[in-house]
């Protein structure tokens, strides 16, 4: 069975866009692959050197992924910092990673612009740590967003370079699996396009019914079509796209027909959309609340996941040490 590895940065709560992108593809992949999903808490130190409460944000993201249906019986779920072997592989990869190529990475340059007072070595070597995450389990496929392509190229380059330097055929080149191309793009409610945390237009899986309603009712619309069967402007299409993923097909068909007949009342449509989003989120929200209160279970999931991940990681490290020439 092929192996899949993906890392999740613990940056706040999941929204519908995350659900219909990364999360849904993880849920699917856990059925068909040997999956390792981990929370990248070491990576977060590159941008947040004093994490206010790193344990809490790790717990939040773990509860949310589990609530969505990531199943610890099917996938290995762990916290990056629990698997210290990753740090050792990162060290070896860094010895063969060059300043010039690391400096050319776009996301590094972006972060330098964003945090000029904290251009740390971790930021520079972010791609080596990510490569270590991936290569430590010999991943075949890595589900990531399009924005991670350059990091993936670095991971492949580091794998090849290791093989060349030590004259082995040890690491294989991991392939990217771009879930964003396969998934429906979930729009934000402000008509600006994509739903995102930084865009401030997101509906979170933990939002309660009143919050969802308030956000949906505030969505931008226009004065409605005047010509039958006219094309939908973006702001209107956004509402329909959301309805496509959360509502019953007959509901969608009804509002489509209303639109095409120029009889649509956006207020009614939004009320329906809010109700359907709530119906979709409610069971997930309840599981998030339950899980967050069940510390013992969450600890158990993290502990068992770390054990499984360490087994796989330790084997790689024994082999890598032997290849380089250290005591295995
Ligand atoms: N860099 C990824 C992101 O920002 C997170 C990540 C860290 C990751 N290590 C990884 C993703 C390994 C895939 C595989 O989203």
From 38, 45, 130, the mutation candidate for ligand 1 (largest count of ligand atoms within 8 A of CB) is: 130
- Counting as low any pLDDT under 50, the low residues of the chain are none
Q: Quick check: is 24 catalytic?
A: no
For 204, phi and psi rounded to 5 degrees? -90, 150
Nearest to 35 by CA among 5, 79, 72: 5
Largest alpha-carbon pair distance within the chain? 77
Q: Quick check: is 111 catalytic?
A: yes
Residue 275 makes CB contacts below 8 A (sequence gap 6+) with none
Q: Please identify which residue in the block is written with the tokens 């995350």.
A: 18
Query: Quick one: pLDDT at residue 304?
Result: 98
Q: Is 175 helix (H, G, I), strand (E, B) or coil?
A: strand
Q: Please identify which residue in the block is written with the tokens 């910092």.
A: 81
Query: Quick one: pLDDT at residue 179?
Result: 82
Convert the pLDDT of each residue in 184-213 to its tens digit.
889 998 877 789 888 888 999 999 999 999
Q: What share of the chain is helix, strand, coil (3-state, %, to 5)?
A: 60, 10, 30
Whose Cα sits closest to atom 5 in ligand 1? 7
Query: Quick one: pLDDT at residue 185?
Result: 87
Q: Is 5 helix (H, G, I), strand (E, B) or coil?
A: strand
60 contacts 10 by C-beta, under 8 angstroms:
yes
Query: Quick one: pLDDT at residue 142?
Result: 97
Among the atoms of ligand 1, which is closest to the Cα of residue 145? Answer: 15
Q: Quick check: is 84 catalytic?
A: no
Residue 322 makes CB contacts below 8 A (sequence gap 6+) with 328
Quote the CA–CA distance of 309 and 5 in Å, as a whole number. 11
Among the atoms of ligand 1, which is closest to the Cα of residue 80? Answer: 9
Distance from Cα 41 to the centre of ligand 1, integer Å: 11
Query: Quick one: pLDDT at residue 180?
Result: 76
Q: What is the pTM of this model?
A: 0.94
Both tokens assigned to 143:
């589900």
Judging by beta carbons within 10 Å of its beta carbon (0-12, 13-18, 19+), is residue 260 exposed, middle or buried? middle
Whose Cα sits closest to atom 13 in ligand 1? 6
**DSSP annotation of 138:** T
Both tokens assigned to 191:
């008509």
- β partners of residue 144: 178
From 197, 232, 271, 315, the catalytic residue: 197
Query: Quick one: pLDDT at residue 309?
Result: 98
Question: Length of the chain, please?
Answer: 328
Q: Please identify which residue in the block is written with the tokens 């773990």.
A: 62
Both tokens assigned to 287:
């599981």
Query: Quick one: pLDDT at residue 194?
Result: 85
Both tokens assigned to 189:
């409610």
Convert the pLDDT of each residue in 279-324 to its tens digit.
999 999 999 999 999 999 999 999 999 999 999 999 999 999 999 9
Q: Three-class SS string for 213-240?
A: HHHHHCCCCCCCCCCCCCCCCHHHHHHH
Query: Quick one: pLDDT at residue 49?
Result: 84
**DSSP annotation of 185:** P
Full set of structural domains in the chain with CATH: 3-173+295-324 (3.40.50.620), 209-288 (1.10.240.10)
Neighbours of 275 (CB within 10 A): 17
Judging by beta carbons within 10 Å of its beta carbon (0-12, 13-18, 19+), is residue 107 exposed, middle or buried? middle
Quote the CA–CA distance of 91 and 132 in Å, as a whole number. 9
Judging by beta carbons within 10 Å of its beta carbon (0-12, 13-18, 19+), is residue 36 exposed, middle or buried? buried
Using a 6 Å CB cutoff, which residues line ligand 1? 5-7, 9, 40, 43, 130, 133-134, 142, 144, 148, 151
């Amino acid at each position: 069975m092929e192996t899949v590895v993906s890392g999740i940065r613990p940056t706040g709560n999941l929204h519908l866009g995350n659900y219909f992108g990364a999360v849904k593809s993880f849920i699917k992949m856990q059925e068909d692959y040997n999956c390792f999903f981990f929370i990248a808490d070491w990576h977060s130190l590159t941008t947040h050197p004093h994490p206010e409460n790193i344990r809490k944000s790790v717990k939040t993201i773990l509860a949310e992924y589990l609530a969505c249906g990531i199943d610890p019986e099917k996938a290995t779920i762990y916290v990056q910092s629990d698997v210290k072997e990753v740090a050792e592989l990162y060290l070896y990869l860094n010895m063969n990673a060059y300043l010039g190529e690391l400096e050319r990475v776009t996301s590094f340059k972006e972060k330098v612009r964003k945090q000029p007072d904290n251009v740390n070595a971790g930021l520079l070597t972010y791609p080596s740590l990510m490569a270590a995450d991936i290569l430590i389990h010999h991943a075949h496929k890595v589900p990531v967003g399009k924005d991670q392509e350059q990091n993936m190229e670095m991971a492949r380059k580091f794998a090849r370079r290791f093989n060349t330097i030590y004259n082995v055929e040890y690491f294989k080149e991991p392939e990217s699996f771009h879930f964003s191309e396969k998934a429906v793009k979930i729009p934000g409610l402000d008509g600006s396009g994509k739903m995102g945390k930084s865009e401030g237009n997101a509906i979170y899986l933990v939002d309660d019914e009143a919050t969802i309603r308030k956000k949906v009712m505030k969505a931008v619309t226009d004065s409605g079509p005047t010509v039958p069967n006219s094309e939908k402007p973006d702001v209107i299409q956004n509402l329909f796209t959301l309805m496509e993923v959360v509502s019953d097909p007959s509901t969608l068909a009804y509002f489509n027909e209303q639109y095409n007949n120029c009889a649509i009342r956006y207020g009614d449509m939004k009320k329906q959309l809010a109700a359907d989003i709530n119906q979709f989120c409610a069971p997930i929200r309840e599981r998030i609340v339950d899980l967050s209160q069940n510390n013992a279970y969450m600890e158990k999931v993290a502990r068992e996941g770390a054990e499984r991940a360490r087994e796989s990681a330790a084997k790689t490290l024994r082999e890598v040490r032997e290849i380089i020439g250290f005591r295995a």
